[in-house]
Each structure stands twice: as C-alpha cells, then as structure tokens.
Amino acid sequence: MDLFNKCDEFTLAEEYKKLGIYPYFHALETKQDIEVMMEGKRRIMIGSNNYLGLTGDKRVIAAGVKALTEFGSGVSGSRFLNGTLTTHLELEEELASFLNKEACVTFSTGFQSNLGILSAIAGRNDLVFSDRENHASIYDGIRLSYAEMIRYHHNDMEDLEVKLAKADPNKGKLIVTDGVFSMSGDICKLPDIVRLAKKYGARVMIDDAHGLGVLGAHGRGTAEYFGLEKDVDIIMGTFSKSLASLGGYMVADKKVVEYVKHKSRPFIFCAAITPANAATALEALRILKQEPERPKALLDIAKYVREGLKAKGLNIIENSIAPIIPIYTYSMLRTIIACKLLYEKGVYVNPVLPPATPEGECLIRTSYTSTHTRELMDEAIEIIGEVLNNLPEDDESLMALLEHRHE
C-alpha cells in the first residue's frame, strides 16, 4: 500500500473550491486591523484574535524595527545554547511580575508552549485531567508526556470530581483547562477547579491564550478575573493574540520553571523567538500595563455586539462575557456558504466545522477587538443578520442556491 493513498483520497477541499465556497487561506494585503484589505476588497475583520488592537500600533511596530536593527532577523539557535537575548530575559521578567508569579519561560509558539510544558511536567506515572473542549495543543502535549489522559465533560465539575475521586492517590495529578475556550468563548469554572484540586491533591494549569488582555481588572486573565492568582500553579499563554506578536510563555514558581527549562524537549531543541517577536510582545505588554482601559473597551464592544446579534434573532452562544461570539449555523454546508456570502459582502468571519464541533453543531466564530467602533459593528451586525436570516437551512435548498449562483 502506498503511503500517499490517503492524499489521493482527500478530495473535500478541491470539491469546495470547484463550488466556489472554499473558506480558507484568504490573503491579507494590509496589516491586521479592524478593517483590512483582502483579495482586493475592504473587509470588516471580526475573525482575528487581535484582542487589544495592537498589531498595527505604531509603538509596537517601532519596537520590532528597533530590535531587528540591533539584534538582526533571528537568533540561529535555541534558548538553551546561543539563542538567549537580553530582550528574552526582559520579557520573561516583566511577564512574571505582571502575572504575579516567581518566574517565566518563553517558547517559540503558543502551541509549542503546551507541548513543552506538559511533556516536561507530566510523565508515565502521572494523571492529567483535561476538559474535553481544551485546545488541540493540550491534547498533543499530554500525548507527548506519556501521562494518562482523563477527559472530563466540558465545564462539568461533577464529572471532574467523580474522575478525581477514582484516581490513584499515589500518582501525580494535574488539572489542565483553557481559561477562555477558543471556540465557544466559555470561561472555565476556576473556583470549582481550585476547590477540587485542593481536595484531591492535584495541581492546576490554565491555558490563558484567550484570557490575557481580556479578563481581569488589569487584563491579567482568568485567574485575576476570579481572584485566584495564588491558587493556579501554572499559567500558559501566547503572544499571538493580545500581545500582537508570535510566541508563548509559561509562568509558575521558579523551581517549576527551572525544571521545565532543563527538561522540555520542545524548548531545548527549538530556536528561540526572533528579536522582533520578543520586542513587540514586550512593548505590547507594557502598553497593556499602561492602558488597562483596553480590556474594558474590549468587553464593552463584545457586549454591544452580543446584544445586536440577539436582536437580529440569531442563535448565539451567550453564556459568556468574552470577545468570542459563536453563531450557530448547524450544518457544514450552511456554515461554509454563510461565510462565503459574508466575505463577499465585506465581513470576515471563521467557520468552525467538525472535528472542532460535533456533527450538526457547526458555528461561525466571530471575535472582537478593543478598537472596534459601534458604527463599524452596526454595519457588520446588519450584514450578518441579512445573510443568515435569508439563508436556507436544509442542504438541498443550499445546493440549489449554489447552482443558481453558477448559472
């Protein structure tokens, strides 16, 4: 059997391209912002994770240019050997201080952060309790650790306790959860998780990729939002969202950070983040500290949009304050066609399809930025309501619509 048979059998992408509804790899022609140029046309951007609107900030860009000039384009090695810059150390020191932890270590990407943390801190004789809706990088990190993965139902604390109670008391235990879940926008039930962790002798790790710069009075994330910063053992996050760069980090007690730095293969054997990435993340962090009104503006605009979409009669997931607002579109075909029509009318959103959702529960994921204006959001809400409220629900009618468009 030829290894590449699976490649020959994968035809779905080509089929959607022929139908003119392939939803991926649209090319930006301008910097990431609340409005962008994509493929020759203005689009309202409500499909990015640029939560604080800093990717185009002049101060952030200037910091990147300065670092590129001073340190060059890359480090040509891992942090473990020749790849540590003074900027890396500054970034780690300021992140640890901001998040009220003893120490910090940075990774090349957010995905790699979870791989590096989990594969180092957990092992064959340990148990990792993972929310079923955790990010894919958490799943892969647990697999790489060889620890036993025990999944609990999404945000179901009764199910988590049942599984903790059954666990071998002689094994190390880690509860890992997204702070803000990336697809639904749900916020984890951190007070209950902390209570159960103390009851059953487990440690707690939060993936706060979508929490930093979003939740908490100072934008410190999920733990600050719940007043539980001292009770969370490990906080992981990314630079590619609120901090307008690329990379990831972990903050924890110094002994935990030191252990991970010396045991994590994805950290030891990977080149460090570039000088420009480190400098732009550091500048964005400093702006967040100086301008704590940005997270509040972000949640305010999310609340405004949530109310506007509900007023249009759309079925949204609304049990959160987060700037991630999914809209149910149910079938895969309806979701992809809706995204296509919205894109044509000047609104960029993201389709969420199986396996990211169960069959029949497909979503359009919309996400917002602190610099979005109400006027711009009114325009987007109007277009979304028009498209979705006039789109057939059954696949037969949807296919007929496609055929009519091709005539």
- Which residues does the annotation mark as catalytic? 182, 210, 241
**Pair 221, 52: CB distance under 8 Å:** no
The dihedral over CA atoms of 319, 324, 328, 334, expressed in degrees to the nearest 10, equals 180
CA dist 27 and 318 (Å) reads: 30
The dihedral over CA atoms of 221, 293, 347, 178, expressed in degrees to the nearest 10, equals 0
What is the bridge-based pairing of β-strands 148-152 and 35-38? unpaired
Taking phi first (over 0 means left), then psi (-120 to 50 degrees means alpha), and beta for anything else, what does residue 346 get? Answer: left
Helices (H) and strands (E) in the chain, counts: 16, 13
| Interhelix angle 332-344/395-406, nearest 10 degrees | 40
CA dist 180 and 124 (Å) reads: 28
CA dist 244 and 406 (Å) reads: 40
Cα distances (angstroms) measured from residue 317 to each of 12, 309, 365: 28, 11, 10
